[in-house]
Structure 1
Amino acid sequence: MNFNNNVIKIFLKFCYFSLLLILLSCGADTPKKEKTTEKALVEAESNVQESSTSKTILVFGDSLTAGFGLDDVNDAFPALLQSKIDSLSLGYTVINSGVSGETTAGGKSRIDWVLNQKIDVFILELGANDGLRGVPLKETRENLQAIIDAVLEKNAATKIILAGMQLPPNMGQDYINEFKTIFPELATKNKLTLIPFLLKDVGGIPALNQADGIHPTVDGHKILANNVWTVLEPIIS
């Protein structure tokens, strides 16, 4: 009986000692955990602040913006613009909002959804598919104006760059000439920055276009990026 009591006492002392060690161990570890948690929170807050300070450039366009036919969308001109911006540490994020086959009517229908995000620079690259389909020029002009109005109504401080387009000669000279004037006239009317011709030094050059003769190759997109950059750089630098 006494033997059993001694065993029980020893066992209880052992349990008490073990519990004490556990409590001390937890107590010693708590500051480490608190420091680790605090560090994680600081890093997370820093990341959020860094993200919130980045400005946004949204390229709103068709297959030219989307990079149709390229193996990698990173070869399309919006991604190339991002590379230029990153190399200069300018603090802008480029968003590719290109949809292959998009017309100005299609752009008008989705613009409100796109404007749910904050946009500092809006590059409007639409109209080519209207021209290739022979859409009435009045409709093209009105749709582009509606998109411009929607952007400025959402945020009057957003800078809009309008990409000018031209058509191949098989569309009829009168139609081609009037189509070409839509872009500079809208730019003047709305006091926008104009890219005179997005496909300058690319359009009509077989070596810089894919087999369809319309969509630029990787090298063609490099030239498109330079055409845009010439206009964009003074705005964001």
Structure 2
Amino acid sequence: MLFSQLSGHVSSLSKQALMFVVFTAFTFTALPAHSASKTILVLGDSLSAEYGLARGKGWVALLEQRLQQKSITATVINASISGDTTSGGKARLGNLLEKYRPDILIIELGGNDALRGLSLKASEDNFKAMIEMAKVQHSKVLLAGMRIPPNYGPDYSERFFSLYEKLAKANKTALVPFLLEGIVEKDTLFQADRIHPIAEAHPAILNNVWPHLMPLLSK
């Protein structure tokens, strides 16, 4: 009788232990894929470097805040410099990749190339070089598309804009079609220079980036 009772007790404990193991395994497999910590490197110009803004008001800082709010573990490195070009970004990227080894690289460059009327071929070659450097490091790339005012000539302006989509397709990278979508049409969202958005526009910039970044965080 005592043995029978003891056997039943052990059997009950075994069932509980089995249920615990199954529950634990299910819990870990059910965690979202982006639960592993990620490092995001932003290589940009003044649009990402908080030009004319108080610290912490730019879209990159807002990105870090949103990741925290959504309990997504990620480190955001803002390596943006006002006035930077694709040539400058290419020159800096090697050291940045080696130092931070990012899971995701956001390239927000090209606007200053176009504003200076630089060769589109040179910009394209610089973008290709940066994408290749990131791939060697096993970093996923997100290109941030940009437009320039039509007064630079409709042909040059359109070829510049289409360059981003061309690069994204050819190199199989993610793309933000136009970083300032929904912003550029509103004069009140720009600083006096009519080039740099005010702080109130940066949440919208983040909203343009977010849906294209999320799939990369989930891989």
Q: Aligning the two structures, in what range does the TM-score lie when normalised by the shorter sequence?
A: 0.7 to 0.9
- What stretches of structure 1 of length at least 5 have no aligned partner? 1-52
Give the secondary structure class of the aligned counterpart of 2:54.
coil
Correspondence for 1:89 among 68, 71, 76? 71
Aligned 1:150-189 pairs, distance under 5 A: 150-153=133-136, 155-156=137-138, 158-189=139-170
Amino acid at match of 2:116: R
Correspondence for 1:106 among 85, 88, 103? 88
Name the CA distance, whole Å, in 2 between partners of 1:173 and 1:101.
23
Query: Is structure 2 residue 135 aligned with structure 1 residue 135?
Result: no
Amino acid at match of 2:89: G
Name the CA distance, whole Å, in 2 between partners of 1:122 and 1:113.
13
Residue 204 of structure 1: how far off its partner (Å): 4.0
Provide the alpha-carbon RMSD of the alignment.
Answer: 1.1
Name the CA distance, whole Å, in 2 between partners of 1:175 and 1:113.
32
TM-score for both structures, normalised by structure 1: 0.75
Instruction: Indicate the residue corresponding to 1:192 in structure 2.
Output: 173
Name the CA distance, whole Å, in 2 between partners of 1:163 and 1:69.
21
Residue 235 of structure 1: how far off its partner (Å): 2.4
Name the CA distance, whole Å, in 1 between partners of 2:126 and 2:185.
27
Instruction: Indicate the residue corresponding to 1:236 in structure 2.
Output: 217
Amino acid at match of 1:162: L
Name the CA distance, whole Å, in 2 between partners of 1:68 and 1:55.
26
Segments ≥4 residues shifted beyond 2 Å: none
Name the CA distance, whole Å, in 2 between partners of 1:213 and 1:140.
24
- 8 Å CA contact 2:42–2:79 kept in 1: the answer is yes
Name the CA distance, whole Å, in 2 between partners of 1:96 and 1:177.
29
Name the CA distance, whole Å, in 2 between partners of 1:177 and 1:62.
21
TM-score for both structures, normalised by structure 2: 0.81
Amino acid at match of 2:148: L
Amino acid at match of 1:100: S
Which has the higher Rg, Structure 1 or Structure 2? 1
- 8 Å CA contact 1:203–1:214 kept in 2: the answer is no
Instruction: Indicate the residue corresponding to 1:119 in structure 2.
Output: 102
Higher relative contact order (CA 8 A, sep 6+): 2
1:157-210 CA-to-partner distances (Å, cap 9, x unmatched) read x21101011111110111011101110000000100110000111124211111
Correspondence for 2:60 among 58, 75, 78? 78
Name the CA distance, whole Å, in 2 between partners of 1:203 and 1:134.
20
Instruction: Indicate the residue corresponding to 2:7 in structure 1.
Output: none
Correspondence for 1:216 among 194, 197, 200? 197
Name the CA distance, whole Å, in 1 between partners of 2:63 and 2:117.
31
Percent of aligned positions with the same letter in both sequences?
45
User: Number of residues paired by the alignment?
Assistant: 182
